[in-house]
Structure 1
Amino acid sequence: MKYQSERIALISEHASPLANLGGVDTGGQNVYVAQLAKHLAAEGYLIDVFTRKDKIELEDVIEWVPGVRVINVSAGPAENVIKEDLLQYMDEFKDSMISFIIKEQVHYSLIHANFFMSAYVAMGIKQELDIPFVVTFHALGHIRRIHQAEQDKFPAERLLIEEQAVQQADHIIAECPQDKDDLITYYNAPEEKISIIPCGFSSKEFYPVGKTTSRKMLGLPQDEHIILQLGRMVPRKGVDNVIRALANLKNSDKPVKLLIVGGEKEQLTEDCCPEFARLMSLAREHDVLDSIIFAGRKDRHLLKFYYSAADLFITTPWYEPFGITPLEAMACGTPVIGANVGGIKYSVADGDTGLLVNPHDPEMLADKISKVIGHPELLSRMGENAIYRVNTYFTWAKVAGKVLNLYNSLITATRKAVPAMSESQAA
């Protein structure tokens, strides 16, 4: 049974669907929440997205698109706060959300929490208002600690909150098989309570554009190989690995240019962006600065041209819960060389739509790039395979369809349980 006109609450405390992408705390989760909300609304659901108010001028309730409202919740100062410092405001977030629900007399059939702090809020609301919730963690504290150690600045309470959420959630969405394995191994999550539902891409936003046209539009050289790194500019994304690989490239038939898209601003400076300063220093150290273009942050509508302009898309993060950028690159017909981790080893078909490499091995990455960059027929075949793969398995429409089926089964189970509980209590 499909419940239309049900009202669903999505919680995404630090990742608003309205935010500009590319910053330290904006990326895949913002896209996930935005696309899911739009597609759920298109199927007849009424969606409220609760996110933290981080600008004083933001209205409390924004009618974003038909069927979707964005509720900017008071929780801490109405200014930018790094996500590692937000947990202290989540009780206020929960109280503000409950006040909104009571004041507006709105009934939510289900809450979908995104990230561990949203799960914390959802647990509190379930306890007080008895609203069931599903959770997508997007990243797990135990895995982050393994890879980032002392660089992980989240409070220690994160692990306990995640462990509690795993037990209290009505269902858990894992974004790839590795995510499911990690939930079971590190959190003792019941396997029957986990569904694997990947992230997706929008075929309206990302599709192939001619390479010559894209390069001309972006002012990029036509007579050089271009490898692209696009995403948030933070250490764990492994941009430094790609720079080191560039220094190891050999036997290329023509020059190779590394195009790096991402960062807080379109015009990056070493004074304002520590990670950019570190990467610039590394490029100077390896004498490849002249072979790198730091393009800065770009508006989303331009990204398809960057993906299409590249011969290869490179992404070698230390770990990656899923990774949306490989899907976007493949949708534009660009093969991906990606780290053999997390969701990337799930979305990239090794040898078919691209290649997988170790995340901390610039020599291996350079070798893989060298073996394919000068072979246009191979790149073309991989690009065609990539377009087919993502459109077959990873569109947001397909992802939203799986989420809808999960919602409906949970709503049905909840409604069947209510009479049974009442009979038991009456007895």
Structure 2
Amino acid sequence: MKVALISSGLVPVPPKAGGAVEEYVFQLAKHLRLLGVEAFVVDSIDKNISIMDYASGVPIARIPVRILHNFPKRNVAKEFLFGLYSAKSLKMMDVDIVHANTAWAGFAISTSIILRNLDKKPKLIYTCHNPLWPEDKVHFGEYVVRYAEGYTMRKADAVIALNKTMLNAIVMKARVPGPKVYEIPNGVDTDFFKPGLPGGGVLEKLRLTEREYVLFVGRVTPIKGVHILLKAFETMISENSHLGIKLVIAGPLTGRFNSSGVSDYAKTLIEYSRRKLGEKVLFTGSVDRETLRILYSNACCLVLPSFAEAFPLVLLEAMASGIPVIGSEAGGIVDVIQNGFNGLLFEKGSWKDLAEKLKVVVENGDLRDRMGINARVMAIRRYSWYSITERIRKVYLRVLSR
């Protein structure tokens, strides 16, 4: 079985400083190969010629996709063209499965005449990572995305939904037949993310102390609810001045992992934290994976205050690192956090509720340790890439047998 896994074409695979979809594509390809599947990744490259690259034994076909910098909706255009060029490059590769993962690359592949007219037409699998499908009120741009993504999922031979809520939304709103939608969550590399990693120079450089900081990981954007976290942290500190805890916000200060600079939203939050909390809040910007796993492993807990999530990889990475997780009651978060077992849930958008939950975890060391142990065990048993990959491989085999 030969499988081509299609990335977004926007963030290089493997990702070095964030990119959940790209991490999913890379880890799936890596673990499929361990199961004997001939899997490879198709990614973009900002050059004039295609190259075959390798990372951790995973072949990565990098194909040229170039867009003018002043082109409107440049990322959308690049992703769509990347999908078209991917279809063209796959024409001579005799693949059995094409596994797409993003709206515009998937749309380009599903509408491609090139793949449709092959004598041996490859089967199309689509994993939906879009967290907004369960939401009823969305902006106009999301309706456009839903049109493209819905078309792709209806054309696909199988669709993978990351959680039950998303599965139901896909069936109802995208009109995808239920029997071809499979609920399979994200996976996590439990060998890479693990407890007990020495802080070394990372914590020293950032002026952090083991277990004395709360961690947020992700893009600093409104949908991630970072402003809710800041207000909750400020409330907890003001009411409990004896706590020597800090807040670390690790991730891009823009809306995308492949963007640089600082958004207006991030600037507002940075200024707010300086005025209200001084040195108790640290915005690191994007960090590399080695730094990230050390930050996880030595944190007091991870907080994810998002307003919408599909199946957040950061929760799995934190759990694999042996720390408790606090998350909003949004999307796939409620499928991961068992309240009081591996972490705590709080009311979506409520900084008051989050402040209370933060205080419980920060002040109760025994509870924190117990939830951290449970989190690690759950990550290994339920979300290890070894078990997730086997479930996806079975979907491939089922589709090929039809």
Q: Which residue of 1 aligns with 2:22?
A: 30
Partner of 1:21: 17
Contact 1:215 1:222 in 2 (8 A): no
Which residue number in structure 2 is paired with residue 420 of structure 1?
none
C-alpha separation in 1, matches of 2:235 and 2:56: 51
SS in 1 for 2:117: helix
Question: 1:262: which partner in 2?
Answer: 251
1:169 maps to 2:156: yes
Residue 12 (1) aligns with residue 7 (2): yes
The answer to whether residue 373 in structure 2 is matched with residue 384 in structure 1 is yes
Task: Write out per-residue CA displacement over residues 193-232 of structure 1, whole angstroms, 9 at most, x where no aligned residue.
Answer: 1111111111221000168768855554449831111122
TM-fit CA distance, 1:43: 1.7
1:64 paired residue among 54, 63, 67 = 54
Residue 116 of structure 1 is matched in structure 2 by: 103
Q: Equivalents in 1 of 2:37, 2:299: separation in Å?
A: 38
Q: What is the rounded CA distance, in whole Å, between the counterparts of 1:387 and 1:34 in structure 2? A: 22
Q: Report what 1:299 is aligned to.
A: 288
Looking at structure 1, the residues matched to 363 and 242 of structure 2 have their Cα atoms a distance apart, in angstroms, of 6
Shift of 1:314: 0.6
Select the structure of larger CA radius of gyration. Answer: 1
Q: Evaluate the alpha carbon distance shift between residue 218 and residue 324 of structure 1 in structure 2; reply closer, same or farther with a 3 A threshold.
A: farther
Q: Is the 8 A contact 1:259 1:295 kept in 2?
A: yes
CA spacing shift, 1:295–1:115, aligned 2, 3 Å: same
> 1:354 corresponds to which residue?
343
State the alpha-carbon separation in 1 of the partners of residues 297 and 83 from structure 2. Answer: 43
1:105-164 C-alpha deviation (Å, 9 max, x unpaired): 3211111110111221231345233322010121056557835x36xx56x532222222
Kindly provide the CA deviation profile for residues 44-81 of structure 1, in whole angstroms up to 9, marking residues without a partner as x.
2222322333x237x51223147632223344428798
* 2:245 is aligned with 1:239: no
* Aligned counterpart, 2:189: 202
The code of the aligned residue for 1:240 comes to H
Distance 1:215 1:65 in 2: 25
Q: 1:193 aligns with which of 180, 191, 207?
A: 180
Matches for 1:13-412 after TM superposition, within 5 Å: 13=8, 14-22=10-18, 27-53=19-45, 55-56=46-47, 60-65=50-55, 68-77=58-67, 85-88=74-77, 92-102=81-91, 105-125=92-112, 126-129=115-118, 130-139=121-130, 142-143=133-134, 146=137, 149=139, 153=141, 156-209=143-196, 217=204, 219-222=206-209, 225-249=212-236, 250-251=239-240, 253-263=242-252, 272-284=262-274, 287-412=276-401
User: What is the percent sequence identity of the aligned residues?
Assistant: 24
Cα 1:256–1:117 change in 2 (3 A) is: same
SS of the residue corresponding to residue 146 of structure 1 reads coil
Tell me, yes or no, if the aligned pair for 1:61 and 1:69 is still in contact at 8 Å.
no
Instruction: Name the CA shift for 1:108/1:361 in 2 (closer, same or farther; >3 Å).
Output: same
| Residues 111/345 of structure 1: CA separation in 2 closer, same or farther (3 Å cut) | same
Q: Secondary structure at the match of 1:368?
A: helix
Q: Which amino acid is the alignment partner of residue 235 of structure 2?
A: N
CA distance in structure 2 between the partners assigned to 1:10 and 1:276 by the alignment = 33
**TM-score when normalising by structure 2:** 0.87
CA distance in 2, matches of 1:345, 1:81: 39
User: Contact 1:56/1:78 (CA < 8 Å) preserved in 2?
Assistant: no
Q: What CA deviation, in whole Å up to 9, does each residue of 1:246-294 have, x standing for no partner?
A: 11112364222111111269xxxx9744343121133245x12331012
What is the CA–CA distance in structure 1 between the aligned matches of 2:241 and 2:318, rounded to whole Å?
Answer: 23
State which drifts further: 161-170 or 381-390.
Answer: 161-170
Corresponding position of 1:417? none
Q: CA separation of 1:134/1:341 partners in 2, compared to 1, >3 Å: closer, same or farther?
A: same
In the alignment, the residues of structure 1 paired with residue 218 and residue 398 of structure 2 have an alpha-carbon distance, to the nearest angstrom, of 35
Indicate if the aligned counterparts of 1:47 and 1:67 stay in contact, CA closer than 8 A: no
Pair 61,241 (structure 1): closer, same or farther in 2 beyond 3 Å = same
Equivalent position SS for 1:338: strand
Structure 1 position 184, deviation (Å): 2.0
Shift of 1:389: 0.7
Task: After TM superposition, give the deviation of residue 166 of structure 1 in Å.
Answer: 2.4
What is the CA–CA distance in structure 2 between the aligned matches of 1:374 and 1:409, rounded to whole Å?
50
How many residue pairs get matched? Answer: 390
Other structure's SS at 1:359 match: coil
TM-score (norm 1): 0.83
Q: Distance in 1 between matches of 2:401 and 2:219?
A: 39
